[in-house]
Structure 1
Amino acid sequence: MSKLKSISILLSHPIYAVVPAAGIGARMGSDTPKQYLTINDIAIIEYALTPLLADERIKMVIVSLGADDQWFQQLAIAQHPKLKAVIGGAQRADSVLAALDAIDDDGVVLVHDAARPCLTKQDIDLLIDNASMESGAIVGSLVRDTMKRVTSEGIIESTVSREFLYHALTPQMFPINRLKQTMIDALAQGVNVTDEASAMEWAQMPIKMLNGRSDNIKVTRPEDLQLAEVFLQGQGKINQSQEKS
């Protein structure tokens, strides 16, 4: 199938976005879930949602929240007309499924991490231009460092070739109904569904790995906040005058 034909098939279907945000981010060592920590007085999840909500091709953005979430409704972005909030689950896969249940449509979905504040229109365009109803796609970043495999005791066992190795990033884009059913089936079989691609890999669906931007980092540890701020400044989402005001 040609690229142009793939694009036309994709754009003939409605496009949705899902952002699982029910996690607590224990590794951040904060009482506040990491997606609600702020950079320049703006919550990480607000940065993550903004490019999705701004994209006219995306019909709706569904956020999966924790049952006891007390932060989201305090954000101005929570009132956006394209945004819908649902209650997620204990695991990422549960939260994604809860959001997919709220979509009564046969289209495609981009799933994006709430703790990735540096998403750009460039990566969204990359996915929409290259995914199709027959082949899902994700953005990734080529591994640059020497990779080591270690034992359970932390002793280096071997050096792993980094050729053809990628860091899997988000968004990840798949047909809604196929993703939903595959995730249900994979979980029922005890598959460790760490991201949407892992479920689709289990179902042997062809998935394109696209070269996304390496600044699309996930805030997982305290030092990631500073790095994300630097990247957001570089993207023009924070400027020096705002930072000093």
Structure 2
Amino acid sequence: MDFPVFVVLPGSGVGLRFGSPTPKQYTCIKDKPLFLYTVHAFHRLPWVQAVVVVVAPSDISCVQQLLEENHLTRVRVAAGGKTRHRSIYNGVKALRNVCRGNDVLLIHDIVRVLADESVVMNVAKAAKLYGAAGITRPLTSTVIAKDSDGFLSESLDRTKYLASEMPQGFHFDIINTAYEKATEYDFEFGTECLHLASKYTGTKASLVEGLDNLWKVTYRKDIFAAEGILTENLSSVFIEEGSPRYRESIVASLNSENLMVSSEKSPLCRDSGFIFFLPLGSSESNKATRISNIRVLMKKITSNHFEDDCDRQSNGSLPDCKKESASNFCDSSIQTHNNECSNCSFLANKTVVVLMEINRSDRGRDIENIRERLLEAPFPDKVYVSVVVFHNESNLHTLGDMTASLLRNQHSGMNCQIYYAQ
């Protein structure tokens, strides 16, 4: 992209249809509020200069803290208004000191967690060329109207209409002028930004066909779909080279759970799951050293770092990670570091599963010894390590399913637990 792009994410609504006292944007998926996934989807694009998150005034301090904890440095927070358009306008005004003229401003719902880079780029380019652009999708249901008595009055030909989706893009001066001229009625009852641009600036929006994953979280059931898609899209599992017999069974179980197996020969920061082997006959000293090395490895992988510092060459070396200082969100300036690692998995946790083969007769002693090794020193926060103990008579299907379940669920209650695959 050879022009600056900025993003406004309105997220100050209460989500009445969601049916929960907690607004949907703050509902957690794998220990992270939903809105953070949307912010990250744009923040990880190096050509996005800055993101404005618009939230209820009472939520500002909490949201700032969450952004800081997750090292989302090119983000500022603005106070939302009583309606959607008032909130968006507040986000537009928050960018007046850095975004101007024909710079492109994108508007995207904060509960639309999936923002495919190619789609976002297409909207940004169309907006740059035509002044305004929006994503559309074909209608999948017939649209009908009812009369004052509640009976069917007409049915519309859905082939003539499209569903308006997000993101939408504008020249900054076009959307800013549209809001400056908007009436109180527009702010109170309007929903379509493209309509405002057309009504008050005469700008005809270019319509770009989008993908079928542009839906937003509206009802509680949508959370489960979002979790499944995010888990599948944002994670990969690294499997250490081990016995082909065991590895094939585990890969089959991971595939059945729609977990992507990493093709890399060494673990990377973008992986969210890690499988290591402790072979039969390992001495107590070797086990202790092995657990210690895994602990050090996870500390390196989970350290905050810049992309320029990460060695991802095929030589198998690990990232050389440097600690990034926290953002100062009281500063009105927007930080513009574009080299943060865009490959990091954004799932909240990283799960390590150690597969330890034992002699069946020594099960009790081996389990106690490995428990001591796990508790000797803590793993980094949000790294959950489990050990699955098995022997040559264990059911391979059970071993694979148990491992896949631990990696998919990523729950703190599984930390430092030992499981026995019979």
Q: TM-score scaled by structure 2?
A: 0.51
| Secondary structure class of the residue paired with 2:159 | coil
- Number of equivalent positions: 235
Task: Give the alignment partner of residue 134 of structure 2, picking from 135, 138, 147.
Answer: 138
Work out whether 1:197 is the aligned partner of 2:362: no
Task: Give the alignment partner of residue 28 of structure 1, picking from 18, 34, 40.
Answer: 18
Instruction: List runs of 5+ in structure 2 lacking aligned partners.
Output: 237-257, 260-403, 411-422
Change (3 A) 1:101 1:33: same
- Distance across 2 between alignment mates of 1:155 and 1:232: 41
Work out whether 1:149 is the aligned partner of 2:140: no
Change (3 A) 1:151 1:38: farther
- Distance across 2 between alignment mates of 1:225 and 1:109: 28
One-letter code aligned to 2:24: K
- Distance across 2 between alignment mates of 1:134 and 1:211: 16
- Distance across 2 between alignment mates of 1:209 and 1:134: 10
Of stretches 229-238 and 52-61 in structure 1, the one that deviates more from structure 2 is 229-238
1:186: Cα distance to partner?
A: 2.1
- Distance across 1 between alignment mates of 2:198 and 2:142: 25
The match for 1:84 is: 76
Q: TM-score scaled by structure 1?
A: 0.85
Task: Give the alignment partner of residue 214 of structure 1, picking from 202, 212, 215.
Answer: 212
Provide, for residues 172-207 of structure 1, a one-character-per-residue CA deviation record: whole Å limited to 9, x for no partner. Answer: 100112201212312346474203112113233110
Provide, for residues 80-134 of structure 1, a one-character-per-residue CA deviation record: whole Å limited to 9, x for no partner. Answer: 2100111121111111111111212312200110111122112112212322254
Contact 1:35 1:43 in 2 (8 A): yes
- Distance across 2 between alignment mates of 1:58 and 1:36: 24
- Distance across 1 between alignment mates of 2:136 and 2:78: 28
Change (3 A) 1:33 1:124: same
Task: Give the alignment partner of residue 49 of structure 1, picking from 18, 21, 39.
Answer: 39
The match for 1:65 is: 55
The match for 2:94 is: 102
- Distance across 2 between alignment mates of 1:125 and 1:151: 42
One-letter code aligned to 1:75: L
Contact 1:17 1:109 in 2 (8 A): yes
1:218: Cα distance to partner?
A: 1.1
The match for 2:107 is: 111
- Distance across 1 between alignment mates of 2:186 and 2:55: 24
Of stretches 158-167 and 125-134 in structure 1, the one that deviates more from structure 2 is 125-134
Query: Which structure features the higher share of strand residues?
Result: 1
Of stretches 173-182 and 191-200 in structure 1, the one that deviates more from structure 2 is 191-200
Change (3 A) 1:169 1:90: same
* C-alpha RMSD over aligned residues: 2.3
Of stretches 78-87 and 56-65 in structure 1, the one that deviates more from structure 2 is 78-87
- Distance across 2 between alignment mates of 1:55 and 1:190: 32
Task: Give the alignment partner of residue 127 of structure 1, picking from 112, 123, 130.
Answer: 123
- Distance across 2 between alignment mates of 1:83 and 1:153: 49
| Secondary structure class of the residue paired with 2:213 | coil
Contact 1:187 1:193 in 2 (8 A): no
Of stretches 68-77 and 84-93 in structure 1, the one that deviates more from structure 2 is 68-77
The structure with the largest alpha-carbon Rg is 2
Of stretches 147-156 and 78-87 in structure 1, the one that deviates more from structure 2 is 147-156
- Distance across 1 between alignment mates of 2:233 and 2:152: 37
Work out whether 1:75 is the aligned partner of 2:59: no
The match for 1:232 is: 230
- Distance across 2 between alignment mates of 1:72 and 1:25: 17
- Distance across 2 between alignment mates of 1:221 and 1:152: 28
One-letter code aligned to 1:160: L
- Distance across 2 between alignment mates of 1:164 and 1:131: 23
- Distance across 1 between alignment mates of 2:67 and 2:93: 25
Query: Which structure is richer in relative contact order (CA contacts within 8 A, separation 6 or more)?
Result: 1
Change (3 A) 1:244 1:86: same
Change (3 A) 1:237 1:46: farther
The match for 1:244 is: 409
Contact 2:136 2:163 in 1 (8 A): yes
